[in-house]
Structure formats: structure tokens, C-alpha cells
Amino acid sequence: MAPRQSVLPFTYRAFFLILEPISALVGAFYAHFRQHEYLSLTTHTSSPPVPLGTSTILSQLANLYFLFALNEALVLRSTGDLRVWRTVLFVLLVADFGHLYSLQGLGSWVYWDVRQWNAIDYGNVAFVYLGATLRIAFLAGVGIGKPASIKKKA
């Protein structure tokens, strides 16, 4: 029998089922409804009015953030099967690295110089570092315990 979510450490459940999905919804909101602000914060420049093509792409990005939030909050909440959790979190870890790579055009400072960060950089870098770190810890079994030590429902 698969372990239930309730036996997973609180830190993992709180971050993956609540905090990160809410964060992704905030990203989706800004990418779709506050596109000018989203672009200006991301590029660290004032941006002209958002062209239709860019607006369409930002709405598609918002949809992907929404998918990310639903996938994590609903799929992981629907099961306590560690195989499913590991699979979903591995896929999201790959996405974390892709997300960080996508920032490389801003310059190497974006990865480490917190003095230059704005609000969106904390989401795009620091929060992604935190999520990736928690995913790596989960995938490495930190705090999970051995399957034999997890109490099973009779």
C-alpha cells in the first residue's frame, strides 16, 4: 500500500501543495493581466506598450504557470504514492533548470547579485532555487524515511 500524504514531512506538503501553487498563480496573474509590469520587472527596463505577439506569448506563459499550479496542487494532493510524487517533482526540477537557463540573457548577475534583484527576480531566481532545493532533497529521500519504516494503514 502506498504511503499517504499525511506521512510526508510538513515542509514538503506545505511548499508543494500550497505555497508553490499559489506562487505560480501569482505569476500567471501578472503574465496575463499585468503584462507591461511583468515585462518591465523581468527585463529591468521600462518597456513600451506590449505588442500583440508579446501579449499572446505572455498569456501562453500565464497558461503554463496555471498548468504548473494545478498539476502540483491537484495531482500531488490526489495521491500519496511516492512514485507519482517523485515523477512529478523530477519533471518540475527539470523545468526549474530550464527556467533558470531562460534568464541567462539578463547577465550572470541575475543568478547571484541579490542587491540588484527586484520583486520578480526573487520569484524567478530565489524562489526557484528554493523549489529546486526542496525537489532535490525530496528526490534524495531527505526526511522521507525508508519505506519499511512508514506506518501502513491496516
Q: What is the pLDDT of residues 77-107, one digit of tens each?
A: 999 999 999 999 999 999 999 999 999 999 9
User: 67 with 84: CB under 8 angstroms?
Assistant: no
What is the per-residue pLDDT for 152? Answer: 45
Give pTM, 2 decimals. 0.86
Domain ranges of the chain: 9-143
Share of the chain above pLDDT 90, in %: 86
What is the per-residue pLDDT for 6? Answer: 60
d(CA 16, CA 146): 21
Q: What is the pLDDT of residues 56-80, one digit of tens each?
A: 999 999 999 999 999 999 999 999 9
